[in-house]
Structure 1
Amino acid sequence: MTSHDSGNIRVIIADDHPVYRDGVSKELASAPNIDIIATCSNGDEALKAILEHHPDVAILDYKMPMLNGGQVAMAAAEKAAPTKVVILSAFTEDAAVYQALRDGASGYLTKESDSADILDAVMTCLRGEVVLPNRLAAGLISEIRSRAETHRPNLTDREVQILQMLSSGLSTPAIAKGIFLAPSTVKTHLQHICDKLGVSGRAAAVAEAMRRGILS
């Protein structure tokens, strides 16, 4: 799992609450295969530690001074740092979990997690898996669905039907004939579709509809 000579997993911990940070650090350091190589009190320090030490895993609070945990994960990924980021936070709002994972975190745990949970998260993310307790996973799914609905244009059934026919390569006259409409009416529908999708042109409409999951 790690290429370091010692064979141990190198970890940094960042949290602006020193008592909690030191407690997690002490608990993990007692594991035989974990080396705590840095502890940090804010996101800026955490990012610098990641870029300097290239730890295997960074365990970060979500809401920290300077940069939050998700922003650290994103910045580290942009600089091609190999570090896996696990968020360990008291903030469990669905939007926070969604944003952290979207920013590049490999997992999200609550501060109710014990040392065994955190250690298991370290091992799990190193296997390339996502770490997310069941109760957070349910909220994440709800958040994803909500955002999908927010970004899904309000197309009518007829407009979706025309999009589907368009994606099959049918021309405007062929579509009109197939659904018993005048070609001019189909063109009007196509313009409404393009307006709702924010694109211009038939090909762009199909591509955007596929990107948004309207067409499979």
Structure 2
Amino acid sequence: MNMSFRILIGDDHEHARKAMRMILAEDDRFTIVGEAKRGDEILPLTEQLMPDMILMDINMPVMNGLEATRLVKEKFPYVKIVMVTVSDDVTNLFEAIKNGAQGYLMKNLNPSIWLSYLHSLATDSAPMPQAIANRILAEFSNTKSTEDTILTPREQEILTRVAQGLSNKEIAKELVISEHTVKNHLKNIMQKLHLNNRVQLTRYAFEQGFL
């Protein structure tokens, strides 16, 4: 049975919201539960509608997507946020990732890529985009910690590969274990480290000197 994911759309342009509605309508795993035209509407709608994922435009009136992302993640850390943009400039996207966003999508990408990427994010199996990983590496490469790790050797192996941008499938193949085992290890790692997603795991790996 396919899992169903509740989606909230945040974009001030009607044609952009319409395009996202059309893309998501092609996959019955996604259900649009609401739409926001301004950034300051995002948090109240999240509280009211309890979405699993938010598609967030960066530039919105009253409050931009970066600030809206920060507010949502502070109160609802489990809600996945995907930044939607017309630009491939990673500067704002990196700021969104630091505020808790899980990923980003270009508005001009093929709809099939959108659906595949969103499903991977929704099921926690999408690798971090390399551009974002590189920015995090540059940002945190000088902040290694000397504290002892609480992870097992196998968990450290998996954490390292997550930070390298590998997907669960690629990790499983490289370590000769099942994808299900990788997912279980990731759950244990996030529980031990009190982290919520692959972005935070990657940042932790860089800070602790795993790479």
TM over 0.5: yes
- The equivalent position to 1:93 in structure 2, one of 89, 93, 100, is 89
Whether 1:143 and 2:135 are equivalent positions in the alignment is yes
Cα drift, residue 96 of structure 1? 1.2
Choose 1 or 2 for highest CA Rg: 1
Paired residues for 1:1-216 under 5 Å: 8-80=4-76, 82-130=78-126, 132-133=128-129, 137-138=130-131, 140-148=132-140
Say if 2:5 and 2:122, in contact at 8 Å, map to a contact too: no
Q: Distance in 2 between matches of 1:212 and 1:32?
A: 39
Say if 1:109 and 1:131, in contact at 8 Å, map to a contact too: no
Structure 1: gaps of 5 or more residues: 154-163, 165-210
If the length of structure 2 is used for normalisation, what is the TM-score? 0.60
**Local SS of the residue matching 1:119:** helix
Cα drift, residue 26 of structure 1? 2.2
- RMSD across aligned C-alpha pairs, in angstroms? 3.0
Say if 2:23 and 2:115, in contact at 8 Å, map to a contact too: no
Q: What is the identity percentage for the equivalent residue pairs of Structure 1 and Structure 2?
A: 24
**Local SS of the residue matching 1:31:** coil
Cα drift, residue 130 of structure 1? 4.8
Cα drift, residue 66 of structure 1? 2.3
Q: Distance in 2 between matches of 1:114 and 1:97?
A: 20
The one-letter code of the counterpart of 2:136 is: I
Q: Distance in 1 between matches of 2:64 and 2:125?
A: 22
The one-letter code of the counterpart of 1:54 is: M
Cα drift, residue 212 of structure 1? 7.2
Q: Distance in 2 between matches of 1:29 and 1:130?
A: 21
- Cα gap change, 1:132 to 1:22, in 2 (>3 Å): farther
Q: Distance in 2 between matches of 1:131 and 1:119?
A: 15
Say if 1:51 and 1:81, in contact at 8 Å, map to a contact too: no
Say if 1:86 and 1:121, in contact at 8 Å, map to a contact too: no
Between 1:14-23 and 1:117-126, the stretch displaced more is: 117-126
If the length of structure 1 is used for normalisation, what is the TM-score? 0.58
Q: Distance in 1 between matches of 2:37 and 2:119?
A: 24
- Cα gap change, 1:89 to 1:132, in 2 (>3 Å): farther
**Local SS of the residue matching 2:82:** strand
Structure 2: gaps of 5 or more residues: 147-205
Choose between structure 1 and 2 for higher RCO, CA contacts under 8 A separated by at least 6 residues: 2
**Local SS of the residue matching 2:83:** strand
Please give the per-residue CA displacement for 1:134-180, whole angstroms capped at 9, x wherever unaligned. xxx23x3443355458xx69xxxxxxxxxx9xxxxxxxxxxxxxxxx
